[in-house]
Every structure is written in structure tokens, then in C-alpha cells.
Structure 1
Amino acid sequence: MTESVKQETAPPVPLRRNVNFQALWTSESFAAVAKETAEFAYPLLILATTGSALFAGAVASAQVVVAGLVSIPAGRLADRFDRKRLMIGCNLARVLLLGLFSLLIATDLVTFPLVLLISTASAVFLSLSQPAGIAAIKALVPPEQVSTAISQNQIRFFGATLIGPPIGGALFGLGRAFPYLGAVVGFVVSTLLLLLIRKPMQAEATTHDDGKRHAKEGFRFIRRNPILLVMLIWVMCSNMVFNHTGLFIALTATAHDTDTAAAVTGAAVAFAGAGGLIGSLVASWVHRHVPPRVIMLYAAWVGPAAALLLAFTPPLIVMGVIIGFVFLRAPIVGSLFLSYVTVLAPDKLQGRVLGAVFFLTIIVQPLGIFLVGTIFDLAGPVAVFLFILSIATPAALTTLTRTMRTLPRPADLEESVS
């Protein structure tokens, strides 16, 4: 009896020594870098073969739309089938796709429709694996480590956005097929690491499907849960007007209008992008020391404040720094929100809830990108940032609701749920 009590009260293994989770995290890191490497090379390839910036933009938009639409069935698959096998299958599909694409590039058989087909197909398999990878965290780490584990996941995402493009650019300089061959290597390594995971990536009961696991159950769960619903409404508004692509377009277009040097433009974009990486590095500390309601107050109101400052069109470097403070919140809030999903949604419903979340947060981004570009062309940068202000301010008012003013820590919710 004494020995069993000791086992029950023994502290969990530190996350850094959790072999199964670290294998998943490292696997997903290699896959993320491979994805960013290939995606950075698509516009380079299109410009080199067609000279059309419009075609390059069309490919990027198609990938975002496809990723959003596929998220719904992806969530259902993550609940119905073995998540490890699903992720391995998606990796191998991308290995075959990009391997074939590399061969076609080497033989000069590349056309714009082919690039569009390969890039959107790759986006499909990315979206199919994404809910499974995040849903698996709940099965691989103890409840008290969920927030830390998800915060570490954010480092992977933002680190890949900084590492992948330089790798893609360097490999493209060696040969047009090399970025895609590099991505193939990344996905192969990712697959091998997944094979090292010995613990089941979901509860056994979730693999026994009754045939009635409709994707709409994820949306219903969110609608019935005030924390997820209110936070998701804010996240959707934020993603529409503060997504990376839209703000980077606004920055580069402002630089063009003001005849700012390319080096200064690059530095401004770097300052903006660095905010996300810094946020991912401090997210775990913030979650431990700052109450969720305070996190959301900063996250919600830094947006309108930044939009108002940007409307005065300060020097481009200053604009980059201001946007960096906005991007700082993304990994902190993202990991906090996903922690709530992980804690509140039962394992058998994790995939479908995540699928609904990804669909709703992704699908608004093309609209925001289109509106930013259109408003800039019609009225210039001041109008763009006033438009962003008009969306960000009502969204920030969600912090006045009782739900947001009394946000508990995810770990406290875990105790009440269990």
C-alpha cells in the first residue's frame, strides 16, 4: 500500500526527460522546417519560371484556403484513427509529392498548374496531420505539464519560420530542385522520430469509433464552452487583421510608397518577426507567473494601441518594432488557448475541437490579406491601420466580459474537470 501511494504522489518526469513528448516535438520541428523551406521556395520558383507575382500570390492564398477547409475533416480523422499512423502517412505522402516534384524540376517539366497542384496537395497533408500532433500532447504528458508542453510547441513553429526561409533561399541558389529535396530529407527524419514514440498518442477508447463522430461536434463543444467561445472570437478577429502576411504586405507597401531602402525594409520585417520568436521563448514563464486575465488584457489592447500608432506612419524601423510587440502576444495567447482546449475537451473529442479551431482561425486570414491590400491601393497606409483599429477595438472589448475577467489557469480547470 505504501509503495503504491508513493508511486501515485511521485512527481512527474520533467518534460525535457519525457522521451515520447520530445520525440514528437523534435519530429514536428523537422517537419515544420521542411514545410517552411518548401513554401519559401514556391514563389521563387514561380517568379523564375513565369515572372508573375500574381501567380505567386495565388499559390499562397490557395494554400491558406485549402488548409482551412481541410482542418474540419482532419479533426475527425485525428479522433477516429491512430494519430501516430496518421502523422506518418501524411509525412510519407509529402515525401513522395516533393520527391516527384524535385524530379520534374530537374527535367524542366515545371508549369504553374503543377506548382499549384503540388503546393496545395502538400497543404492538405499538413492540415490532416496538424490536429493529430497537438491532440497527442494530452496523451504524452501529465496534466500539470500541458501548458509548458504547448508553449514548447510554439517555439517550434516560430523557430521554423525563421530557420526555414534562409535554408530554402540558400538551397534554391544551388539549384531549383534543392529546397524540395531538403524538405524531403526533413520529412523523412520527422517520420523516423515518430517511430521512437512508444506511448499511445491517444486513449485506447478513442480508436473505437461508433460511426457517428461528426465533425460538427467540435463546433458544438466550442459553442457550449464560454472560455473557448469568447477567446476564439477574439482570436479570429486578431488573425484577420494582424496576420503575418497582411502586416508584412502593409510594411513593404509603405516602404515602397516612402522610397525606403530595401535593407531598412528587411530590418523592419525582421524586428516584427522577432516578436513572435521572443514570445514563444518566454511563453512558458509568462504562463507560470502572469494570470490569464492579465495576459488577455495585454494581448487584446496592444492591437488597437499599435494600430493607432501605426496610423501616424512613423519611420519604418519604428513600425517594425511596434508590430513586433503585437506579434509577441501570438505564441503566448496561442499556447494558452490550446491549453484550454486540451484541458476542457475530452480525448475522444480533441481532434474535432482542434479541427474546428484551425478552420475558424485560418479561414479569416485570406479575407484580411485581401482587405489590407485593397485598402492600401485605394487609400494608403493610414486607411489600412485605421481599418485594423476598427476591427481590433471591438474585439478587445471581449476582455470586459465576465468570462475573460475571471479566466482561471488551465491547471486549475484540469483539477475541476478531473
Structure 2
Amino acid sequence: MTSLWRNREFNLLWTGQCLSELGNAIASLAIPLLVLTVTGSPVQAGLVGTIAQVTRLVCRLPAGLLVDRVDRRRAMLACDLLQLAAFAGLGAAVLAGRVHLAVIIAVAVVDAAGGTLFGTAEHAALRSIVPIPRLPDAVARNEARGYGVSLVGPAVGGLLFGLGAVWPFAANAVSYLASMVGVSLIRRPLQQPREGAPGGLAEGLTFVFGNPFLRTVLFIAAPLNFAVTGTIFTIIIALQGHGVAPAVIGLTETVIGAGGLIGAFAAPLLRRRLPMAVLTRAICWAATACFVVSALLTTSVAAAVPVALTLLLAPACNAALFGYQAAITPDRLQGRVVSVIFLVANSASAAAPLLAGLLVTAWSAGGAILLFAAAVAGSALVATFGRGLRDTPGLVSPASAGAAPDRPAVSTPPR
């Protein structure tokens, strides 16, 4: 089996997105700093971030439907072009001294909508450019990309903003240009030939909730993502309440991101040594135990260490789960299925910071984290006793499986 490092199409897409996500991470820090510079209001800075998050949620299902109906390459290029124009325009407004809150909000909305559509198209296209057995490895490579960028991007964004407010947005515009070049150079089609009238959103919903494996993934991922987001936010609030210096608080996300990055490098080895069901159960039970430990350490940055330890398993688990999802989902449904999974798995996370703030105010930081640990325990019970993860067959190439081009390719589990 050819290594992914020799897969020209995947490496073009991966490299372009590495630069694009770096630019996005740079801008994600620069935008709230720009709002604070223009308005002096932390509330309005938070408002821009909230609007961007709501835009991603609202666009998730329409993006999946669109990805399954249009040419994915053209959709990705259109997103990059739109986002490039938005940030180039924002940079020009900063240079001219005419940047206003409405302009920043408009750019944030365009970026959130374009990023949602591009991300859905990229995930849906993996099955067309990566051999079926290599799909988990491709997801692991993407996980490493995300964690690596999250460590480097904010620091670079702060440095560039210090040199001049225009530079982070100029850098992000250039990153989208790099992504366009990478997508344009891909030779292979990013979707299989489509026959007949395209189905609607209900077809994707039926496929997800009618499949025992995908349905189980939703019941596991939603509480787990909710708990991780809420725990991280609770730790930050608790540290701030105890008078910890902002620079030290910043180490929290660095420690957590480092855990995810190390886990991403270890993901291929873990995935090959441990079955998917074992990995999933392990991360759920480990997270439950680690969050309980974090609840006892809320006065110190050490509270982030157990969360980082949990994330050591996250990339391998995601690689196994989403690699398998890409393999069992027909190409014509990839966009809709991905959008449904991401929407359900991440919707509860949007409310986690608010709930964390309420719990810390009414109760305590330790108590809030224990509640999030209980949510993860629910995921662990589903992973342990649910039937959806049992007897999941292994991944094989379509040719060896005798599968039709638009059929899932899996091997029959031994009896």
C-alpha cells in the first residue's frame, strides 16, 4: 500500500490547507484584537466570535447538501476566493483607517460560512483521493495539522498584530491563495460520477440515524466534545478568579494543544495496535478519570495536564471513527453525512462556555468540571455497552471487496 507521503493529490490538499489553517489561526487572534482596538469593548469582541460560531452552525447542513450537488473542486476554489477577497478587503480598510465593527462582522461571517463549506467539501473529497485502507491515516494527518496550527498560529498572529494591524489579515489572504493553488493542481476528480437526481437533506439524516455505528458515534461524540470544551473554559475562568497572570493562563491551551499534537503523531501506531471500539472506550473512560483529577487542581495550570493526557488518545480515536465513516458512506452522501455528524457532535459545545460560567458562579469550578466528567461517563457507558461499535468490519479496497464505485468497502468480520 502506497504511503500517504507519496500521494500527490492528498499532499497538495493537505499542504494548502496547512497554510490556510495557519492563516486562519493568525486571524482568529487578530480579529478580537482589532475589535478591541476599534471599539474598546470586550463585549463587542465576544459578540463577533459568537456571530461566527452561530454562522458555522447555521451553514453546516446547507453546506453538506451543496457539497453533494456541485463540483467539489469548484466549491472549494470559490470558498478560498471569497475568503481571500474578504480578508484583503479588511486589510485595505485597516490601512485606510476606515474599519468599522460592521465590516469586521461581515468578514467574520464570510469566513465562517466559507470555512464550513470548504471543510465539509475537503472531508467529503478524501474518499476520492485516498485509498480506503488509508482513510484513517489521512484523518490522523489532518488532526496533526489542526493541533500544530493551533499551537503556532495565535503566537504568530500576536507577533504580526504587534508589527501592524494589517499584517495578520494580509497573511491570511495569502494563505487562501496558497490553498487555491493546491486545490487547482489536484488532477483527480474530487467526487465520483453522479447519476440521477440528487437527493435531499432527509437522505443524509436517514443514513446517519439509520446506521447503528454512526448513531452510536453521535451519542458518544456530542457529550465528549461538550465536556472537553466546558472543562477547558472552566479551568480558564478558575485560574483568572485566583489571580493567575494572563501569560500563565495562556499556557493552558498550549499544554492541551501539545497533548493533542503528540497524540496525532502517535495516532497511526495506536490505531494499528488497538481496535476502534477499544480506542473509543479508552478515551471516554480516560477522560472521565482525568476530568475528576482536573476538578481537584483548579487553582493551578496543572489542571490542564489531565485534559492534555486525554487528548493523547483523541486523534487516534477520531482517525478510526471518521476514517471508517468515510469508507462506509457512499460518495454521493459524503457531504450530507459529514454535516449531520459535525452539527450534532458540536452543537452542545457552543453552550458549554455559558453553562461553565453559570456553574462556576453558582457552585464552584471543581463542581462544574465534575458535572462535565459525568457527561463523559455517559459517553463511556454508550461506548462500552452500545451495540453500534461491536463487530465493525475492517476496511479494504473497493477492488478486493468487489464493491461498486459508490458502495462502501468493508471486509466481513471473522466469526
- The offset of 1:314, in angstroms, is 5.2
User: Does 2:279 correspond to 1:295?
Assistant: yes
3-state SS of 1:199 partner: coil
User: Does 2:216 correspond to 1:230?
Assistant: yes
Q: Can you list the C-alpha shifts for 1:316-357, whole angstroms capped at 9, x where unaligned?
A: 232111111122233222222211211111011111101111
User: Does 2:49 correspond to 1:54?
Assistant: no
The code of the aligned residue for 1:236 comes to A
Q: Is the 8 A contact 1:34 1:164 kept in 2?
A: yes
Match for residue 326 of structure 2?
342
Q: Is the 8 A contact 2:204 2:333 kept in 1?
A: yes
- The offset of 1:373, in angstroms, is 1.6
Match for residue 399 of structure 1?
383
Match for residue 361 of structure 1?
345
* CA distance in structure 2 between the aligned counterparts of 1:407 and 1:23, rounded to whole angstroms: 35
The code of the aligned residue for 1:57 comes to G
Q: Is the 8 A contact 1:343 1:410 kept in 2?
A: no
> Tell me, which stretches of 5 or more residues in structure 1 are unaligned?
1-11
Q: How does 1:121-270 map to 2 (within 5 A)?
A: 121-205=110-194, 208=195, 210=197, 212-243=198-229, 246-270=230-254
* CA distance in structure 1 between the aligned counterparts of 2:391 and 2:217, rounded to whole angstroms: 10
> Tell me, which stretches of 5 or more residues in structure 2 are unaligned?
397-407
The code of the aligned residue for 1:414 comes to A
CA 1:177–1:248: 2 relative to 1, 3 Å: farther
* CA distance in structure 1 between the aligned counterparts of 2:118 and 2:411, rounded to whole angstroms: 30
The code of the aligned residue for 1:241 comes to A
CA 1:173–1:229: 2 relative to 1, 3 Å: same
- The offset of 1:409, in angstroms, is 5.7
- The offset of 1:404, in angstroms, is 5.3
Match for residue 109 of structure 1?
98
Q: Is the 8 A contact 1:270 1:320 kept in 2?
A: no
Match for residue 415 of structure 1?
410
User: Does 2:358 correspond to 1:374?
Assistant: yes
Q: Can you list the C-alpha shifts for 1:277-309, whole angstroms capped at 9, x where unaligned?
A: 112111122111111121012111122212222
Q: Can you list the C-alpha shifts for 1:125-152, whole angstroms capped at 9, x where unaligned?
A: 0011111101111111211111111111
Match for residue 281 of structure 1?
265
Match for residue 25 of structure 2?
36
Q: 2:288 aligns with which of 284, 287, 304?
A: 304
Q: 2:14 aligns with which of 22, 25, 34?
A: 25
* CA distance in structure 2 between the aligned counterparts of 1:388 and 1:48, rounded to whole angstroms: 35
The code of the aligned residue for 2:283 comes to A
The code of the aligned residue for 1:187 comes to Y
Q: Is the 8 A contact 2:214 2:388 kept in 1?
A: no
Q: Is the 8 A contact 2:294 2:304 kept in 1?
A: no
- The offset of 1:198, in angstroms, is 0.4
* CA distance in structure 2 between the aligned counterparts of 1:148 and 1:354, rounded to whole angstroms: 18
3-state SS of 1:204 partner: coil
Q: Is the 8 A contact 1:68 1:358 kept in 2?
A: no
3-state SS of 2:297 partner: coil
- The offset of 1:43, in angstroms, is 1.1
Match for residue 403 of structure 2?
none
% same residue? 27
Q: Is the 8 A contact 2:139 2:323 kept in 1?
A: yes
* CA distance in structure 2 between the aligned counterparts of 1:66 and 1:370, rounded to whole angstroms: 18
- The offset of 1:185, in angstroms, is 0.5
* CA distance in structure 2 between the aligned counterparts of 1:394 and 1:181, rounded to whole angstroms: 45
The code of the aligned residue for 2:211 comes to N
The code of the aligned residue for 1:387 comes to L
Using structure 1 for the length normalisation, give the TM-score: 0.91
* CA distance in structure 2 between the aligned counterparts of 1:45 and 1:262, rounded to whole angstroms: 19
Q: Is the 8 A contact 1:83 1:136 kept in 2?
A: yes
The code of the aligned residue for 1:143 comes to I
Q: Is the 8 A contact 2:298 2:365 kept in 1?
A: no
3-state SS of 2:315 partner: helix
* CA distance in structure 2 between the aligned counterparts of 1:186 and 1:314, rounded to whole angstroms: 38
CA 1:367–1:258: 2 relative to 1, 3 Å: same
The code of the aligned residue for 1:231 comes to V
- The offset of 1:95, in angstroms, is 0.6
User: Does 2:79 correspond to 1:79?
Assistant: no
Cα RMSD over matched residues? 1.9
Using structure 2 for the length normalisation, give the TM-score: 0.92
* CA distance in structure 1 between the aligned counterparts of 2:321 and 2:257, rounded to whole angstroms: 21
* CA distance in structure 2 between the aligned counterparts of 1:314 and 1:86, rounded to whole angstroms: 45
CA 1:201–1:405: 2 relative to 1, 3 Å: closer
Give the length in aligned residue pairs: 401
3-state SS of 1:198 partner: coil
More moved, 42-51 vs 220-229: 42-51
Q: Is the 8 A contact 1:67 1:362 kept in 2?
A: no
CA 1:54–1:248: 2 relative to 1, 3 Å: farther
